[in-house]
Amino acid sequence: MIFETIKKRRSVFPVQYSDKPIAKEILEQLLEAANWAPTHKKTEPWRFKVLMGESKAKLGLFLSYKYMETEPKPKQIKIKKLMENPKRAGAIIAICMQRDPKESVPEWEEMAATAMAVQNMWLCCAEMGIGCYWSSPGLIKYMDEFFDLNEGEKCLGFFYIGYYDGEVEQGIRGPISEKVEWMD
């Protein structure tokens, strides 16, 4: 049942990933699920760039060098994390949003549609026992220097994906009754 999958969805981080590669067919399934997200006026704003193999290491180098270039007091631990996390992932999907040139809907709706596309992938990963999480580092604003982005396209983050061993923590949420106001 989808409700159980929603409840078991978790962030699983690169440090938890095993070396088992993610098959291209699995990535294609995830991307196909993303493609079925709701989209107002059918703008389908989600765009994805899939990094596998050496491109993951190149991303890590770019992020670590850009951090050292832009941070007045770069921390060695952060440099190492930026360089190593992409290599640990089985694959990384750069999450991008293509703004409708006609601006037929507000930009936030296209961002929301893109986020729903990512949620579709996340739920599929949870169902398949694959770990993932959405990272949106401050360095995301420089991704036009790494990717060839189209006019009106922006990178919103990275969807790290990897198999993992062991269990993930059970989720905790406060009661929905504290977050809902019923009106008659």
Determine whether the annotation assigns residue 135 to a binding site.
yes
Listed in sequence order, the DSSP H helices in 9-155 are 24-34, 54-70, 76-88, 107-128
**Measuring CA to CA, how many Å separate 171 from each of 4, 7, 33, 78, 135?**
12, 7, 23, 27, 19
Determine whether the annotation assigns residue 11 to a binding site.
yes
At residue 179, φ and ψ (nearest 5 deg) are -120, 5
Q: How far apart are the first and last CA of the chain?
A: 31
Alpha-carbon torsion (35, 40, 42, 46), positive or negative: negative
Determine whether the annotation assigns residue 40 to a binding site.
yes
Helix, strand or coil for residue 120? helix
Determine whether the annotation assigns residue 104 to a binding site.
no
Determine whether the annotation assigns residue 18 to a binding site.
no
153 within 8 A of 96, measured Cβ to Cβ? yes
Annotated binding site, which residues? 9-11, 40, 134-136
Per the annotation, binding residues for FMN are 9-11, 40, 134-136
